[in-house]
Amino acid sequence: MKTLVIKIILVLLIVSGFTSCSDWLVVQPAGKVVLADYWKSESDVESVVATCYRAMLDDEFMRRIMIWGELRSDNIIAGNGIQDPENQVLQANIIPSNELCKWGSFYSVINYCNTVLYYAPTVIDPNFTETKLHAKEAEVLTLRALCYFYLVRVYKDIPLVTEPSILDTQNYQVSQSTEDQVLDKIEADLLQAENWAMVAYSTTQYTKGRITKNAVRAILADVYLWRNKYPECINYCDKIINDRIATEKLTDSKVTNDVGSTLIQDEESPFRQIFGQKNSSESIFELQFSTANKENSKVYDYYGNFVNNAGQFSASTFLGTGVYPTAGVYPATDVRRKDNFKALAENGLFHIFKYAGLYRSEDNLGVSSYNYRSSTPNWIFYRITDIMLMKAEALVQLDRDDNDLTAALHIVNTTYLRSNPTVLPTDSLKFSNYNSKQTMAELVLLERQRELMFEGKRWFDLMRMARRDGKPDKLVYIVIGKYTDNQTTIKSKMSEMNALYMPIHQDELKANPKLKQNPFYDVQGISTSTH
């Protein structure tokens, strides 16, 4: 018995006395990697780069892309079961407590990008060559620029963060940079990325789902257009267009020097390939959703789905009820009218079909039947017709002579005729009808709306117009058309340019006292904290 006692005490002694205290208190987390052990190889970099894309699939990110780009425009009204925050945005009743004013999901992506930019150059791996490093840097520089481009278009002045957030001792209270500072940084980053980015990847899915040289150029063209730098915009649109013509020529002898000849021609519509089959040849950059990674639940909820064709959003009534030019935006012959939403009105609503659906087929009598997909449409950021119509817009604005306008009309006719297959080329849109800068600008705007409806573009198209005008009147005139009541109130809430930008969420203002609220939303700022 006594020996047992000694043994027990000895064990305790060893455990307590001879184990160094500091060693005992170091516990490595199980099942997780710590920073010190990360950033050792190329695959470590690849995994975090993939995170940057993956974070964009998150519902909160997708939600904002759709709300900011589409819901505020004239394309959309409330569908079935729209939620409060969305409805408030829709009613132009945006208050700083609305959760849709939160921008955290964008800065999450930005922070992942910053992390890659900070650590990737420190990776020592013989396989990880400088070219590979630059290619990865180009990807994240571009994604970061894309996020900032969204933020600057939606909020105007925003904090510009380019360092990763690692330690609690860092200063996280960053004040806003001006719109121009942010746009300058975006431009600079994209120009750098253009040099470094890959032309294509090993598979089509990678080429469409990741950043390529053309994706960089597409964003750059968009940025130039936003900044009214039309020649630069045209230049970058042409880079993409010429590259496309060259690539397509290699495989298809019918391709001419006109980009129109490279467009997908489909018996019923190109819709099936672009949105149904995904990653079409027309696509430049699209976010890849799948059941394994992440379902596109925001499209599922907002635009509708195979279970419930009625989504929380509905196409605006005026789009469906009339036929262009007397009302609506589509002529009777336009297949996009049937592709973008179900013309059949239920409860007075028009169900959005683009993205939500897989394909539409038409019987001999011209009756469409709609086939839905599960829940994994991709989200297309840029496709070729967008680029073409960007160029058209830039040409119209430049308006150096009639050649610019004719060139713009030619582009419009290209996308228009493709979607109006029953119209003879000779019946195309005539220059005589659109021979002024004003009328041509309206036509391009209209064609962009027809072509890119529900793709998160419309609000920014209108914003560019309002920014050029320096006042929101025309934008308001267009948008107000979708409202049946409260028009006066809504008008008053869009009465000045600042009102077109979102307010900064009140929680952000509290967490970061250096932020300044958009003055339009600051009027009711009777501080309650002085009680």
Partner 1 sequence: MKQLFKNILIILLVGLCVQSTFAQTSSDNTIRGKIYSAADGGLLMVNVVEVDQNNRIVSSTTTDAGGNFSMKIKSKTNKIKVSYIGYEPQTLTIGDRKVFNVQMVDKTALKEVIVKAKKTIDNGNLAIPQREISTAMQTISSKEFAGLSVSSVDDALQGQISGLDIVGNSGDAGSGSTMRIRGITSINASSNPLIVVNGIPFETPIASNFDFASANQENFADLLSVNVDDIESITVLKDAASTAVWGSRGANGVISINTKKGVKGLTRIQYTYRFSGATQPQGMTMLTGDDYTMLMKEAYFNPKQSDAASNIREFNYDPNFSEYQDYNNNTNWMKAVTQFGVTNDHYIQLSGGGDKAKFLVSGGYYDQTGSIIGQKLQRYSTRMNLDYQVSDRIKFSSEFSFTYTDNPQNYDGLLGIAYKKMPNLSIYTQDANGNDTKQYYKMLSSASPQFSGKDDQMSMRNPVASANLAINDVKSYRIIPTFRIQYDLLDPQKQLLRYKGYVSFDVNNTSTTKFLPKELSSGNWFDGSIDLAEGKESRNLSISSDNNITWLPKFENTDHSLMLYSSFQFGTSSSRYQQIISNGIPTGTITNPTAGGYISNFASGPGNGRSMAYMAMAHYAYKSKYIADITVRRDGSTKYGENRRWGTFPGVSVAWNVADESFMKPTSKWLSTLKLRPSWGITGNQPKYEYLFYSLYNAYSSYMDISTIRPDNVQLTDLRWEKVTSTNYGIDLGFFEDAFTMDFNYYVKRTDDMLFEKLAISSSSGFSALTYQNGGSMDNQGWEVNFHANKFIKTGDFSMDFNLNLSNYVNTIISLKQDILANANKEFSYTNGTYLTRIQENNSFGSIYGFRYKGVYQYSDYVEGRKGTSPYAFDVDNHVIRDAKGNPLPMYFGSGTNSAYKFKGGDAIYEDVNHDGNINELDMVYLGNSNPLVNGGMGIKLNYKSLSVNIFSNFRIGNKIVNAGRMNAENMYSNNNQAASVNWRWRKDGDLTTMPRALYQSGYNWLGSDRYVEDGSFLRIKYMQINYSVPSKLLKRFYVNQMTLYMTINNLVTFTKYSGVDPEVGYGAFGVSTDGNQTPRSNSFTAGISVAF
What residues from 57 to 96 belong to the interface with partner 1 (CB under 8 A)?
57, 80-81, 83, 93-95
CA distance 515 to 512: 6
CB of 243 to partner 1, least distance (A): 23
Buried b (16+ CB within 10 A) or exposed e, 306-330: eebbbbbbbbbbebbeeebeeebbb
CB of 276 to partner 1, least distance (A): 19
User: How many residues make up the chain in this entry?
Assistant: 531
CB of 387 to partner 1, least distance (A): 24
CA distance 350 to 328: 13
x-marked contacts with partner 1 along 270-309 as a string, rule CB under 8 A: ------------------x-x-xxx-----------xxx-
What are the Cα distances from residue 349, in Å, to 60, 345, 368, 469? 26, 5, 17, 33
Please check whether residue 371 is in contact with residue 284, taking contact to mean a CB–CB distance below 8 angstroms.
no
Q: Does residue 188 belong to the site contacting partner 1 (CB under 8 A)?
A: no
Which of 166, 188, 191, 327 contacts partner 1 by CB under 8 A? 166
Sorted by sequence, the CB contacts under 8 Å of residue 496 that are 6+ apart come out as 471, 472, 520
Considering only residues 194 through 233, tell me which ones interact with partner 1, judged by CB under 8 A: 205-206, 209
Please provide the distance, in angstroms rounded to a whole number, between the alpha carbons at the two ends of the chain: 73
Considering only residues 422 through 441, tell me which ones interact with partner 1, judged by CB under 8 A: none
CA distance 520 to 368: 46
Which of 169, 202, 422, 432 contacts partner 1 by CB under 8 A? 169
x-marked contacts with partner 1 along 386-415 as a string, rule CB under 8 A: ------------------------------
Which amino acid appears at position 361 of this protein? S
Considering only residues 30 through 59, tell me which ones interact with partner 1, judged by CB under 8 A: 30-35, 38, 44, 46-48, 50-51, 53-55, 57
Closest CA to 104 of 522, 512, 497: 512
Rounded to 5°, the CA angle 23-28-30 comes to 145
x-marked contacts with partner 1 along 471-500 as a string, rule CB under 8 A: ----------------------x-------
Q: Residue 149 is inside which H or E element, if any?
A: helix 130-155
x-marked contacts with partner 1 along 238-277 as a string, rule CB under 8 A: ----------------------------------------
Q: Does residue 531 belong to the site contacting partner 1 (CB under 8 A)?
A: yes
Which of 87, 131, 165, 438 contacts partner 1 by CB under 8 A? 165
**Residue with Cβ nearer partner 1 (169 or 364):** 169
Q: How many CA atoms lie within 13 A of 477 on its CB side?
A: 6
- Judged by CB under 8 A, which stretch of 15-23, 217-225, 238-246, 318-326 contacts partner 1? 15-23
x-marked contacts with partner 1 along 302-341 as a string, rule CB under 8 A: ----xxx---------------------------------
Q: Does residue 526 belong to the site contacting partner 1 (CB under 8 A)?
A: yes
- Cα Rg, the chain, nearest whole Å: 26
Closest CA to 220 of 352, 356, 381: 381
- Judged by CB under 8 A, which stretch of 17-25, 65-73, 332-340, 422-430 contacts partner 1? 17-25
Please check whether residue 525 is in contact with residue 517, taking contact to mean a CB–CB distance below 8 angstroms.
yes
